[in-house]
Structure 1
Amino acid sequence: MIDGMDEHKARASAWFRSLRDQILAAFEDLEDAVAGTSPTDPAPGRFEVTETEREGGGGGGLMSVMRGGRVFEKVGVNVSTVHGRLAERAQRAMAARGVPGMEADPRFWASGISLVAHMQNPHVPAVHMNTRMFWTPHAWWFGGGSDLNPCLEYPEDTEHFHATLRTACEAHSPDAYPRFKAWADEYFFVPHRGRARGVGGIFYDDLNTGDWEADFAFTQEIGRAFLPAFVPLVERRDATPWTEADRDAQLIHRGLYAEYNLVYDRGTKFGLETGHDANAVLMSLPPLAKWV
């Protein structure tokens, strides 16, 4: 039995909320930095914030979505803290991952932040980030990561993104980056297309070294690395002229992103199976996409 976790849960939940606040402010600053050149240009985008609830009670969160901005076509940054009892199907899934005691006591608690950004300019890459903590009466762990999803890849952008994540990982463990990069390459592969969703990043799950403080510190490091990994790419590419062919490539790539999230993504499946707000769970889907 895992005892004495209430303080740890509260700290993790509060930190995910604080990271969300930092990201919202940074993204609205990016919107403000792009000056309109005519009266018909859109106003700087702002986040609309909606409270979410888990079906049947058991917590909820905040869904923050910006649509139709100057920089972001659609971006969502969600935080949630939910709890309850896992349904039988979710219990089996957890037991298959090695979580003990699910049949005897299927209670759970989970908190985290999840972000997906789809950009106006096809030269600016889409991006995903999440970090989370999960608890059951017999186990706890952290998970998360970031991955970059350009439709028009610039190798120097890919290198910057990975180098920032590498530095964050190496501050805690010399072997974390290669392990978690390989995990991301495997996790974000789209089998039915025979290709990766993007250019990768890092992904980890089931992180429990036995030292909660160390694992929480690592997860915070990964969360803090997101803005310096991504914002410089937006600033570098947002003014790049683009063509209708570029836009077409962007929409087709978004179709690949939608396929992955609906068919394979573990977080999407868990959120829907545990009764979390469906709009919040499906926030990751792009506003427009196309298939050939």
Structure 2
Amino acid sequence: MMDTEKARASAWFRELRDQIVSAFEALEDSHDTGPFAEMAPGRFEVTETRRHSDDGTDAGGGLMSVMRGGRVFEKVGVNVSTVYGTLGVPAQQAMAARGVPGIAEDPRFWASGISLVAHMQNPHCPAVHMNTRMFWTPGAWWFGGGSDLNPCIEYEDDTTHFHATQKAYLDPHGEALYPELKAWADEYFYIPHRKRARGVGGIFMDDRNTGDWEADFALTQDIGRAFLPAYLPLVEKRRVQPCDAADKDTQLIHRGLYAEYNLVYDRGTKFGLATGHDANAVLMSLPPLAKWV
């Protein structure tokens, strides 16, 4: 049943959550000059989430941590959860179609992960998404996730730094891995009806099972460890830049793209809603304000 491995993965996602929450609140405290510095520093509101099976029995849960209206972050959520139970028919059928072994005969599952989305006050600061997760069924286990940058005003040096940091953390696992996961992100975070990417990319993987759980878990951990070094320097650099109403308008229009993608295409959103997880936690990724032209 992989109980030891499940516990280690769940504990790691919680540890990563704690590191990120602490780092983001420190950014709020240190922002004392530039746009929005006159505001009070933001703090995360933490809510326990619960999932219940169709018969009402407990099926796990997690923590939803959301900061709204801070100096640096207009809205940021960092969620962790560990849930289990029986897949509903639509989710079971979708996984069977993906070739998950044995899922058509036995719909039990266990899943744990961290999910993060940050929408920024200053339009020059890029929005960002990150998640990593482990999924188990009686016939299979796998890891997934990654992180991608979503600036509304693009800066080439920001994009270069974000990707270079991801590559540095992935190269010890094999130099062919970063190009593979970058290409996967470019394909996955594409908005077909807009014929454009959601942002400037990053890395992404799913269904990662090489047969070596330790190696795949180590890779998943390094994807998580890469996030703060890849992202924090960009925020520290851009949060002090002057911005005007036109910049904010550009930001709100770009957020519309983000909302469209997450509601129409994102696999995690679909899974969370289909399996009965807390809807507020699942939809935490949506921006506080957006605009369509």
Instruction: Confirm whether residue 10 of structure 1 aligns to residue 7 of structure 2.
Output: yes
* SS class of match (2:20): helix
Structure 2, unaligned runs of 5 or more: none
The match for 2:29 is: 32
The match for 1:129 is: 130
Q: 1:32 to 1:191 in 2, by over 3 A?
A: same
Once superposed, which parts of structure 1, at least 4 consecutive aligned residues long, lie more than 4 Å away?
36-40
The match for 1:261 is: 262
The answer to which of 92-101 and 114-123 deviates more is 92-101
1: CA distance, partners of 2:246 / 2:191 = 24
Q: Deviation of residue 219 (structure 1)? A: 0.3
Q: Indicate the percent of aligned positions where both proteins have the same amino acid.
A: 76
Q: Deviation of residue 39 (structure 1)? A: 12
2: CA distance, partners of 1:256 / 1:173 = 33
Where does 1:161-200 land on structure 2 (aligned, <5 Å)?
161-200=162-201
Instruction: Confirm whether residue 107 of structure 1 aligns to residue 108 of structure 2.
Output: yes
Q: Deviation of residue 36 (structure 1)? A: 6.3
The match for 2:220 is: 219
Instruction: Confirm whether residue 157 of structure 1 aligns to residue 158 of structure 2.
Output: yes
Aligned length: 289
The match for 2:275 is: 274
Q: Normalising by the residue count of structure 1, what TM-score does the alignment of the two structures yield? A: 0.97
The match for 1:21 is: 18
* SS class of match (2:65): strand
Q: Deviation of residue 174 (structure 1)? A: 1.1
1: CA distance, partners of 2:33 / 2:227 = 27
Structure 1, unaligned runs of 5 or more: none
Q: Deviation of residue 48 (structure 1)? A: 0.3
Over aligned residues, Cα RMSD in angstroms? Answer: 1.4
Where does 1:130-149 land on structure 2 (aligned, <5 Å)?
130-149=131-150
Instruction: Confirm whether residue 49 of structure 1 aligns to residue 50 of structure 2.
Output: no
1:82, 1:110 within 8 Å by CA — same for their partners in 2?
yes
Q: Normalising by the residue count of structure 2, what TM-score does the alignment of the two structures yield? A: 0.97
Matched residue type, 2:78: V
2: CA distance, partners of 1:103 / 1:45 = 46
2: CA distance, partners of 1:8 / 1:162 = 30
**1:212-242 deviation line (CA, Å, top 9, x unaligned):** 0000000000100000000000001000001
1: CA distance, partners of 2:283 / 2:135 = 20
Matched residue type, 2:275: T
Q: Deviation of residue 69 (structure 1)? A: 0.2
Q: 1:39 to 1:173 in 2, by over 3 A?
A: closer
2: CA distance, partners of 1:38 / 1:104 = 56
2: CA distance, partners of 1:130 / 1:103 = 27
Q: Deviation of residue 45 (structure 1)? A: 0.4
2: CA distance, partners of 1:107 / 1:38 = 50
1:36, 1:42 within 8 Å by CA — same for their partners in 2?
no
Instruction: Confirm whether residue 244 of structure 1 aligns to residue 271 of structure 2.
Output: no
2: CA distance, partners of 1:58 / 1:39 = 41
Q: Deviation of residue 243 (structure 1)? A: 1.2
2: CA distance, partners of 1:38 / 1:203 = 33
Matched residue type, 1:13: S
